[in-house]
Amino acid sequence: MLKDVGGEIISIDGKTCRGSHDRTKGKKPIHMVSAWANENRIVLGQVKTEEKSNEITAIPELLKAIDIASAVVTIDAMGCQKDIVKEIRSKNAEYVISLKGNQSRLQEKVEDFFTCYSNESNTITLTDEEQKAHGRVEQREYFLAEIPGHFNEKYIWEGLTCIGKVRSSRLIDGNLTVENRYFITSLKTSEFKRFAAATRRHWGIENSLHYWQFDISFSEDRSRKRSGNAAQNFSLVRKIALNYLKNDKTRKGGIERKRRYASLNTEYLQTLISQ
């Protein structure tokens, strides 16, 4: 069912199963950290944590459990940790990781660099074509530069070769908003297109996996399973079911329609699970 993940973009992110809390027992909702293979469009693995803040310890555990060789791993700013980067590199993979306040000094240096030198010859740039949807115009500009010589971080962060920036501009009903995001990466400037694809596709784990599939198609946030390991087990079952449904080419339609048909047609259900 799974193609070779070599060269894949693997996005790692967490999601809270909101209905899994139990106030009478003082139990908070569980938080699941998942790895999403963007090209294969399936879940590679998951790890349970008690809170979102525990993602930092859960991510290395998840990385140890899956094959990421030759892939590009993308993680939000919470995963911007030296130990996580070291784990990725130890498994012969590349990384593209967001920068935010948890690495404030490094983020400030990267911001200053792109503010002062983004037009220099050592910075590669690319602009996406404008996209129009529901009256909205979007434009993304990508910047990638070799780590400057005065950045001591290149000796501290394993495999760090480049810093990146993505400027997203959105025009909605005549109102323009601009957002800048910053990244560290082990990719080289010659792999600029992989960097652009990695930053763009990281949102796939939220759009394709978390919100649309689990919250809409599987109604995960409304699930009240909370006894013992029920919430974790059913989260895993949903991911397995999603993998089967996404890889099915025998029937047209969305995930919700395929689920409904599988519940009514035993032959189709057997086709799904025998892939």
Contact of 158 with 82, CB cutoff 8 Å: yes
Mean pLDDT (the chain) is 80
Which is more confident, 45 or 243? 45
Distance between CA 258 and CA 252 in Å, rounded? 8
- Measured distance CA(171)–CA(132) in Å, rounded: 10
Residue-range domain boundaries for the chain: 1-76+202-275, 99-189
147-177 pLDDT, tens digit per residue, is: 998 899 999 999 999 999 999 888 888 889 9
pLDDT band at 2; cut points 50, 70, 90: very low
33 closest CA partner among 96, 86, 76: 76
pLDDT at residue 213 greater than cutoff 90: no
Q: Which pLDDT band, with edges at 50, 70 and 90, does 251 fall under?
A: confident
Residues 6 or more apart from 212 whose CB is under 8 A from it?
Answer: none
Residue, of 254 and 166, whose pLDDT is higher: 166
Structure tokens at 94: 């590349």
pLDDT digits (tens, 9 = 90+) for 48-66: 876 656 788 899 999 999 9
pLDDT at 229: 61
Q: Which residue has the tokens 């349970």?
A: 48
Tens-digit pLDDT profile for residues 92-148: 999 999 998 889 999 999 999 998 876 655 677 777 766 666 667 888 889 999 999
Residue range 99-189 in CATH 3.10.450: yes
- Tokens 């693997």 sit on residue: 10
Q: Which of 163, 96, 176 is nearest to 130 (CA)?
A: 176
C-beta separation of 258 from 245 below 8 A: yes
Q: What is the 3-state secondary structure (H, E, C) of the chain?
A: CCCCCCCCEEEEEEEECHHHCEHHHCECCCEEEEEEECCCCEEEEEEEECCHHHHHHHHHHHHHHCCCCCCEEEECHHHCCHHHHHHHHHCCCEEEEEECHHHHHHHHHHHHHHHHHCCCCCEEEEECCCEEECCEEEEEEEEEEECCCCCHHHHCCCCCCEEEEEEEEEEECCEEEEEEEEEEECCCHHHHHHHHHHHHHCCHHHHHHHHHHHHHHCCHHHCCCCCCCHHHHHHHHHHHHHHHHHHCCCCCCCHHHHHHHHHHCHHHHHHHHCC
pLDDT tens digit sequence for 3-37: 455 678 999 988 775 545 455 655 566 778 888 88
| Lookup result for tokens 């395929």 | 258
